[in-house]
Amino acid sequence: MQSHNMRASPFLAACRREPVSHTPVWIMRQAGRYLPEYRKIRAEVDFLTLTKTPDLAAEVTIQPIRRFGMDAAILFSDIMTPVEGMGVSIEFAPGPVVKDPIRSLQQVEALVVPDPEESVPFVLETVGILSDELPESAPLIGFAGAPFTLFCYLVQGRGTKTFAEAKGFLFAEPEASRLLLDKLADTMIAYLAAQAASGAKALMLFDSWAGLLSPEAYETFAFPSVKRVMDALGSADVPLIYFPNQGATLLETARGSGADVIGVDWRIPLSKAREVLGPDVAVQGNLDPSALFASRDELGRQIDRVLAEAGPTPGHIFNLGHGIERTTDPDSVAFLVDRVHETSSRELWDATCGDVASGV
Amino acid sequence: MQSHNMRASPFLAACRREPVSHTPVWIMRQAGRYLPEYRKIRAEVDFLTLTKTPDLAAEVTIQPIRRFGMDAAILFSDIMTPVEGMGVSIEFAPGPVVKDPIRSLQQVEALVVPDPEESVPFVLETVGILSDELPESAPLIGFAGAPFTLFCYLVQGRGTKTFAEAKGFLFAEPEASRLLLDKLADTMIAYLAAQAASGAKALMLFDSWAGLLSPEAYETFAFPSVKRVMDALGSADVPLIYFPNQGATLLETARGSGADVIGVDWRIPLSKAREVLGPDVAVQGNLDPSALFASRDELGRQIDRVLAEAGPTPGHIFNLGHGIERTTDPDSVAFLVDRVHETSSRELWDATCGDVASGV
């Protein structure tokens, strides 16, 4: 079954660094407000209701596949969704706001590691629907927030630019911080394993705020919690993707996480990222989402540059280096998906025939 | 006169990569809300009035020198101050908000390059007061925002996490963007030259948002405007500092800016930054501001680590990797300044006597 999927899915093959007929492509936040069909549904229901209504969450997950023919779908949900069951009260206004931010060991000790079947049955139901409805060519990626990123929200209480309170807590209360990171890791392990059991074909851990840390602090606090998750999920038998956002200087550590694929933002060329990451992991990325605002000529040039930097070695999944902006023209996304498929088919053919150099 | 200053000032000596008796230290945003004596003045006047009242701006600039004995003072001002004279209407609410964000070539063409004597006489008066009042051991650093960072505010209209509109404009309108960056560069050249003429002993260019760019986009757009400023100021005969914030992957390009000193944030160890930057520039940085929330033991360890990573080679100015947080305990700052002075005196003595290894 797994090998059948891999043949039918360039995305799953690329995750395993197997040869592919074209470079697979999907886009972070591909289900979202830049799409008129998404906005139509959001005109009827608010964001939270959407994430908690399986039929609707499945529908918006499928929308970009239907329109653009991406090579993977990603579950429509929010990284804070599985955190509520730990005993944290979260409101959306419109970003997540934690009612009582975590600021003491006592608060950390009071948190529980919930059973996802009880705390987020609607997510697992959504995954089940998608597992049935998605074509084999666009397998479902389940996901969760990485422990440090969730830690940032829980301690800070809301999104900010610097997460100063969260980072202050990390340095002032290292033991309480470690316990919180462990509990978050254990909650995400159960959450992701349940998604895989419900039909997700790959699992991705988003470490959106990893880039706030120095390499030393990352190695001390954030990385052990990532490795804990990856180690536990190794037996799930689906590819694991880890995205340390803005983590150019963290890749040397991140490559040891146990993930099959490392996501890379646009701040480092994929050629350099691959040098650091070595041959044993695939890479995912890394076009700047702002490039989608360039002229077609320039956008085409940028897409080809990313493909060239990734090189002909198997194990590249094309993506943006961060979520798509909501003011993006959907036609630019269509152009991107087609261009990745066309250029990479030609390049892979050329490379097979030995007609081109490394492409870097 | 210059050589006299350099002997009296470890900061100026370190900028020129001359030997020093101790590693000089100052702190970004050292004049600010974490200081009770600053808050006392701000209780009487708002931020804008403070920046535009020379006696008061000079007083808050001196406050941290008086309390902590840092090795340099930095002018109290705002990066948007010299931009208003270009013909842009800016309000503070509390961050800078541009009334009509720049979104067209026509708007860019309408901007002028003002004479700082006319547009910001109060800044030059502040510099003059400080030039008289500061001790030789704490020379005044004049500063400006780097063109790309000012571009972000002018196009976006206000501070955000991603500056999506500003970056979209960069890609969609590369020619108008280049013209805007050139005009901003020319305005900052005149502004910084006037600060030097009024008595500033060093000049620093803050590129707070450089880290939003890929190495390619940085080289195409932001870097040429930085080089334009540095080339023009080379004749000012004062050390030039350039800080590409979150620019770990941009250092290879930034080292060619013509700056004497490159500021480095905490996302890359100074040992690696020096490897990339080479022996011809000094480095400034790079303790994570959050480390000031750690226990004294841990803070001391982190300070010593930064000093060790900088190594015994001359040309290190100790600083935080970003501005100090306003909730920081002033006693932690006192500890930091003393610790840098003590550890570096001992280490430099040891290194001179050949008793220690490279310290890295």
A240-292 pLDDT, tens digit each: 999 999 999 999 999 999 999 999 999 999 999 999 999 999 999 999 999 99
Q: Shortest Cα distance from A28 to chain B (angstroms)?
A: 15
pLDDT tens, A30-75? 999 999 999 999 999 999 999 999 999 999 999 999 999 999 999 9
Yes or no, beta carbons of B168 and A215 under 8 Å apart? no
The reply to whether B66 belongs to the active site is no
Yes or no, beta carbons of A269 and B295 under 8 Å apart? no
- The residue-averaged pLDDT of B130-149 equals 98
Tell me, yes or no, if A37 comes closer than 8 A to chain B by beta carbon: no
The reply to whether A29 belongs to the active site is yes
The confidence band for B93, taking pLDDT boundaries of 50, 70 and 90, is confident
Q: Which residue of chain B comes nearest to A159, CA vs CA? A: B161
- The residue-averaged pLDDT of B131-155 equals 97
pLDDT on residue A91: 87
pLDDT tens, B304-313? 999 999 998 8
Q: Shortest Cα distance from B168 to chain A (angstroms)?
A: 5
Chain A residues close to B267, C-beta within 8 Å = 211, 213-215, 248-249
pLDDT on residue B351: 60
Does some domain include residue B285?
yes
Yes or no, beta carbons of A168 and B217 under 8 Å apart? no
Chain A residues close to B321, C-beta within 8 Å = 214
β-partners of residue B206 are B145, B243
pLDDT tens, A25-37? 999 999 999 999 9
Q: Which of B34, B171, B251, B309 to mutate to test the interface with A (most CBs of A within 10 A)?
A: B171
pLDDT on residue A136: 96
Domain count, chain B: 1
DSSP-derived 3-state class of residue B261: strand
The reply to whether B7 belongs to the active site is no
Yes or no, beta carbons of A290 and B170 under 8 Å apart? yes
Q: Shortest Cα distance from B336 to chain A (angstroms)?
A: 15
Yes or no, beta carbons of A214 and B294 under 8 Å apart? no
Tokens of A321: 């280096």
Chain B residues close to A165, C-beta within 8 Å = 327
pLDDT over 60 at A232, yes or no: yes
User: CB of A287 within 8 A of CB of A241?
Assistant: no
Yes or no, beta carbons of A325 and B246 under 8 Å apart? no
Does some domain include residue B358?
no
Does some domain include residue B186?
yes
Hey, CA dihedral for B276, B277, B280, B283, is it positive or negative?
Answer: negative
The reply to whether A34 belongs to the active site is no
pLDDT on residue B92: 80
Q: Choose the weakest-confidence range: B83-92, B189-198, B207-216, B294-303.
A: B83-92
User: Does the ipTM surpass 0.85?
Assistant: yes
Q: Which of B17, B34, B38, B78 is catalytic?
A: B78
Chain A residues close to B308, C-beta within 8 Å = none
pLDDT on residue B292: 97
Whole-number mean pLDDT of chain A? 94
Chain B residues close to A162, C-beta within 8 Å = 322, 325
The reply to whether A78 belongs to the active site is yes
Please tell me which of the candidates A170, A272, A293 has its beta carbon nearest to residue B290: A170
Residue with tokens 């003595």: B349
Tell me, yes or no, if A269 comes closer than 8 A to chain B by beta carbon: yes
Please tell me which of the candidates B159, B171, B295 has its beta carbon nearest to residue A291: B171
pLDDT tens, A112-137? 999 999 999 999 999 999 999 999 99
CB-side exposure of A129: number of CA atoms within 13 Å? 18
Yes or no, beta carbons of A246 and B246 under 8 Å apart? yes
pLDDT over 90 at B238, yes or no: yes
Q: Which residue of chain B comes nearest to A328, CA vs CA? A: B168
Sheet strands (E) in chain A: 73-74, 90-92, 96-98, 140-145, 202-207, 240-244, 261-263, 282-287, 316-320
How many contacts does A have with B, using Cβ atoms within 8 A?
A: 97
Chain A residues close to B266, C-beta within 8 Å = 214
Q: How far apart are CA B46 and CA A168, in angstroms?
A: 28
Q: Which residue of chain A comes nearest to B211, CA vs CA? A: A267
pLDDT on residue A351: 60
Q: How far apart are CA B262 and CA B230, in angstroms?
A: 12
**In whole angstroms, what separates CA A225 from the centre of its chain?**
17
CATH assignment of the domain containing B14: 3.20.20.210
Phi, psi of A10 (to 5 degrees): -55, -30
The confidence band for B349, taking pLDDT boundaries of 50, 70 and 90, is low
Count of CB atoms within 10 A of residue B103's CB? 18
Does some domain include residue A329?
yes
Q: B33 is in which domain, residue-wise?
A: 2-352
Please tell me which of the candidates A161, A171, A298 has its beta carbon nearest to residue B293: A171
Tell me, yes or no, if A327 comes closer than 8 A to chain B by beta carbon: yes
pLDDT over 50 at A3, yes or no: no
Does some domain include residue A51?
yes
Q: Which residue of chain B comes nearest to A298, CA vs CA? A: B171
Q: Shortest Cα distance from A213 to chain B (angstroms)?
A: 6
Count of CB atoms within 10 A of residue A358's CB? 10
- The residue-averaged pLDDT of B136-151 equals 98
Percent of chain A's residues with pLDDT above 70: 94
DSSP-derived 3-state class of residue A353: coil
Does some domain include residue B357?
no
Yes or no, beta carbons of B172 and A294 under 8 Å apart? yes
Q: Which of A152, A214, A302, A326 to mutate to test the interface with B (most CBs of B within 10 A)?
A: A214
DSSP-derived 3-state class of residue A102: coil
Determine what percent of chain A falls in helix, strand and coil, rounding each to the nearest 5: 55, 10, 35
The confidence band for B355, taking pLDDT boundaries of 50, 70 and 90, is very low
The confidence band for A96, taking pLDDT boundaries of 50, 70 and 90, is confident
The confidence band for B352, taking pLDDT boundaries of 50, 70 and 90, is low
pLDDT tens, B320-342? 999 999 999 999 999 999 999 99
Yes or no, beta carbons of B267 and A161 under 8 Å apart? no
Tell me, yes or no, if A167 comes closer than 8 A to chain B by beta carbon: yes
Does some domain include residue A358?
no
pLDDT over 90 at A162, yes or no: no
Long-range (24+ apart) CB contacts under 8 A made by B98-106 are B98/B153, B98/B154, B98/B156, B98/B157, B98/B158, B101/B154, B101/B155, B101/B156, B101/B157, B101/B165, B102/B154, B102/B155, B102/B169, B102/B180, B103/B155, B103/B165, B103/B169, B104/B176, B105/B173, B105/B175, B105/B176, B105/B179
Q: Which residue of chain A comes nearest to B272, CA vs CA? A: A249
Tell me, yes or no, if B217 comes closer than 8 A to chain A by beta carbon: yes
Tell me, yes or no, if B288 comes closer than 8 A to chain A by beta carbon: yes
Does some domain include residue A357?
no
pLDDT tens, A308-349? 999 988 999 999 999 999 999 999 999 999 999 999 998 765
pLDDT on residue A350: 63
Give the list of residues 6+ apart from residue B189 with CB closer than 8 angstroms, or none: B228, B229, B232, B233
Tell me, yes or no, if B179 comes closer than 8 A to chain A by beta carbon: no
